Amino acid sequence: MFFSLNRKEKEGNLRSRKLLLEIAFWLICLPLTLGVVLFFVHTPGIEGMDRAYYGDQVYAHAHRPFVLRALTPFVVRNLVKLVPDSTRENLEHLAKDHKKPYRHKLIYLGWNPDFLPEYFVGILYMWVSLLAFVWIFRRLMRETIETYHIFYLLIPILAVILMPAYFAEYYCYLYDFPHLFLFTLGLYFLASRNWTAFLILYPISCLNKETTVLLTVIYLIHFGLHSNLSWRKFGAML
């Protein structure tokens, strides 16, 4: 009886400890991911490509292949419709008031004052997408790697911290963080063999960016060469 109670007490303490670690994890991730997104839109920024200006991406006026990456612009475009008119008017006033420091910041960033609601909605959507990536990345780790619980917390944080090192190497686009989430979600569905969810996700993710087809390559390599998946099921997925 005593040992049974002692065991339950230890299990309860372990659950409490894990809960506290989870809370601490997300309290770190919330500001960290927001900081990474703000750095993303600042350096080198989201207005660096003349063939795919931000407003042109959102309203499907960009050049190919950018105009074909339609999912995220579609979502942002429809979320912008939910912005109240009073908020739009306030943003327009801030953007056009030459006495305000905001105007100089917009010029520095290269942002078009006519698209302020689109910028802010897009940033919010990118932030949510990056948080979603952290969440599904942890799920993917648990599905594929057995390690100490602390590593399921530290590795995603480290991955987010290291992201800005790659931002300066190429132009930054509205769909990048949403695609990071969708691609990782596809990897998770492959790893967990959730074929129905994967087949639903695949065309949706392709609408966001065509590099989703790399999931096919991963499927061919992993399940074709290193898996006990039957050839019949393997071929059916193709």
Res. 102: pLDDT tops 80? no
Confidence grade of residue 42 (pLDDT, cut at 50, 70, 90): confident
| Distance set, CA 115 to CA 19, 37, 42, 118 (Å) | 41, 18, 16, 5
- Tell whether the torsion through CA atoms of 43, 47, 49 and 50 is positive or negative: negative
pLDDT at position 67, please?
Answer: 82
Lowest pLDDT segment from 8-12, 61-65, 121-125: 8-12
pLDDT at position 32, please?
Answer: 96
pTM, full prediction: 0.85
Phi and psi, residue 81, nearest 5°: -65, -20
Residue whose structure tokens are 């780790």: 141
CB burial of 177-197 (b: ≥16 within 10 Å; e: otherwise) equals bbbbbbbbbbbbbbbeeeeee
Res. 69: pLDDT tops 70? yes
Of the candidates 194, 178, 191, the one whose C-alpha atom is nearest the C-alpha of residue 219 is 191
**153-190: pLDDT as tens digits:** 999 999 999 988 877 666 678 888 999 999 999 999 99
Query: Distance between CA 60 and CA 73 in Å, rounded?
Result: 7
pLDDT at position 125, please?
Answer: 95
- Contacts made by residues 158-165, CB under 8 angstroms, sequence distance 24+: 159/134, 160/29, 160/32, 160/33, 160/36, 160/130, 160/134, 161/32, 161/36, 163/36, 163/40, 164/36, 164/39, 164/40, 164/43
pLDDT at position 135, please?
Answer: 96
Query: Distance between CA 2 and CA 109 in Å, rounded?
Result: 66
The alpha carbon of residue 39 and the mean position of all alpha carbons in its chain are separated, in whole angstroms, by 15
Confidence grade of residue 141 (pLDDT, cut at 50, 70, 90): very high
The alpha carbon of residue 35 and the mean position of all alpha carbons in its chain are separated, in whole angstroms, by 14
Query: Distance between CA 89 and CA 141 in Å, rounded?
Result: 45
| Distance set, CA 214 to CA 46, 64, 169, 186 (Å) | 25, 20, 21, 10
